[in-house]
Amino acid sequence: MKLGKVHYHIVNGIDEAISLNQTHEGNAKYMAGGQSLMPMMSLRLIFSEEVIDISQLPDLKKCFATKERFFIGSGVTHAMIEDGKIEDPTHGYLQHVAQGIAYRGVRNKGTIGGSIVNADPAADWPTALLALGASVMIKTHAEEIETPIGDFQCGLMQTSLKETDLVKGVFVPFLSEKAKWSYVKFCHKVGEFAHSIAAIVIDPELRIFNAILGAAGDKPVLLPHLSKYLSSANIKNADLDKDLNDLLDSDLLENTFHLSSSYEFNLHRSIVKKAVMEALKK
């Protein structure tokens, strides 16, 4: 299908973009990379006659360090992270995630902010950032609000954003030298959205012990039993396989709608187990 009639707007700043959207009663759509917005508008999954291009705003590409965290502007592209154009405070985790997103053409245009705003449960950044315990900086017409990414994504392609709100960027922690991580996903073919994603981040110094499952429901979820197990200092290799099976059986039954006999259940269990093993080897 072809894209319907739209009015294309270029703005010079974040406040101007929000004000312009207010004049359209919040019905305009912000476009950063357009890698999700344009196809969805063409398929009539999103309806709007007003598109506000925010892709060239310098303030949305700013990255900077604070005392304990690193801020990544929402306009930073996947390729910029992949190519090391910005600092990676996670010792390669963010770069690893970025280089596995779709195709290079998509990574050149797609942005980290666009990914989390689209809130597709099978997209990479919602799962990867939840494992880090990241938070989202939201710019409203009156203030800036920081919210944990777990609260930001409410459901299937649903976020806590109000009509004219704009995501300014995300805060991620500086992982310590003792941190271990892995990010594993399963796709039927290269470049497509994943059918299962597992993100593991273990950092004893920061007290981060997160096992996240994506592409299994309406949004990525924390696997609580496995996450608690990863915080244990007594993980024994001899019992690891059995422990993982038992923990994942409980987590998947409680946090997904899949039956234990289903293909999806066993796929997710295999992907998470693989991710745990990779992380513990680091």
C-alpha R_g of the chain: 19
- Please tell me whether residues 160 and 222 are part of one structural domain: no
Residue 228 counted as domain residue = yes
The number of folded domains in the chain is 3
- Same-domain pairing of 126 and 192: no
Assess contact for 48 and 8: CB atoms under 8 A. no
Question: What pLDDT, on a 0 to 100 scale, did the predictor assign at position 40?
Answer: 86
Q: Are residues 209 and 231 in the same domain?
A: yes
Residue 152 corresponds to which tokens in the numbers above?
Answer: 């930001």
Q: Are residues 34 and 80 in the same domain?
A: no
Domain span including residue 84:
59-173
- Domain check: are 259 and 161 in the same one? no
- Check residue 233 and give its pLDDT: 65
Cβ contacts of residue 281 below 8 Å, gap of 6+?
A: none
Pairing of strands 50-53, 221-222: unpaired
Same domain, yes or no: 187 and 276? yes
Q: What is the CATH number of the domain that holds 203?
A: 3.30.390.50
71 in the same domain as 155: yes
Q: Are residues 71 and 157 in the same domain?
A: yes
Residue 18's CATH number: 3.30.43.10
Q: What is the pLDDT along the chain (282 residues), one digit of tens a residue?
A: 677 788 999 999 999 999 999 999 999 999 999 888 888 888 888 888 899 999 999 999 999 999 899 999 999 999 999 999 999 999 999 999 999 999 999 999 999 999 999 999 999 999 999 999 999 999 999 999 999 999 999 999 999 999 999 999 999 999 999 999 999 999 998 888 899 999 999 999 999 999 999 999 999 999 999 999 999 866 767 678 889 999 999 999 999 999 999 999 999 999 999 999 999 998
CB 110 within 8 A of CB 193: no
Same domain, 148 and 220: no
Asked whether 51 and 7 are in contact (CB, 8 A), the reply is yes
Asked whether residue 138 falls in the same domain as residue 70, the answer is yes
Residue 109 in any domain: the answer is yes
Question: Measured between alpha carbons, how far is 139 from 17 in angstroms, rounded to an integer?
Answer: 11
**How high is the pLDDT of residue 4?**
76
Q: Are residues 153 and 194 in the same domain?
A: no
What span, in angstroms and rounded, lies between the C-alpha atoms of 229 and 235? 8
Same-domain check for residues 25 and 101: no
Contacts of 263 (CB under 8 A, 6+ apart): none
- The answer to the question of residue 2 being in a domain is no
pLDDT of residue 17: 97
Question: What are residue 136's phi and psi, to 5 degrees?
Answer: -110, 135
Whether 46 and 27 have beta carbons less than 8 Å apart is answered as no
Q: Nearest 5 degrees, angle CA 218-CA 223-CA 224?
A: 130
Taking phi over 0 as left and psi of -120 to 50 as alpha, with beta for the rest, 108 belongs to alpha
Q: Tell me which residue of 125, 108, 129 sits closest to 35, measured CA to CA.
A: 108
Is residue 104 in a domain? yes
What is the β-pairing status of strands 7-10 and 50-53? parallel
What separation in angstroms does the CA of 147 have from each of 59, 133, 138, 161, 227? 19, 11, 8, 11, 22
Query: CA-to-CA distance for 3 and 1, rounded, in angstroms?
Result: 7
Question: What is the pLDDT at residue 155?
Answer: 95
Choosing from 148, 173, 198, the residue where a domain stops is: 173
Tell me whether residue 12 is in a domain. Answer: yes
> Is residue 41 within 8 Å of residue 177, measured between CB atoms?
no
**Among residues 173, 206, 226, which one ends one of the domains?**
173
| pTM of the predicted model as reported, rounded to 2 decimal places | 0.95
Tell me which residue of 194, 183, 70, 63 sits closest to 131, measured CA to CA.
183
Cβ contacts of residue 222 below 8 Å, gap of 6+?
A: 130, 150, 210, 211, 212, 255
Is 1 inside a domain boundary?
no
Residue 232 is predicted with a pLDDT of: 83
Q: Examine the fold and report which residue of 173, 208, 223 is the final residue of a domain before the chain moves on.
A: 173
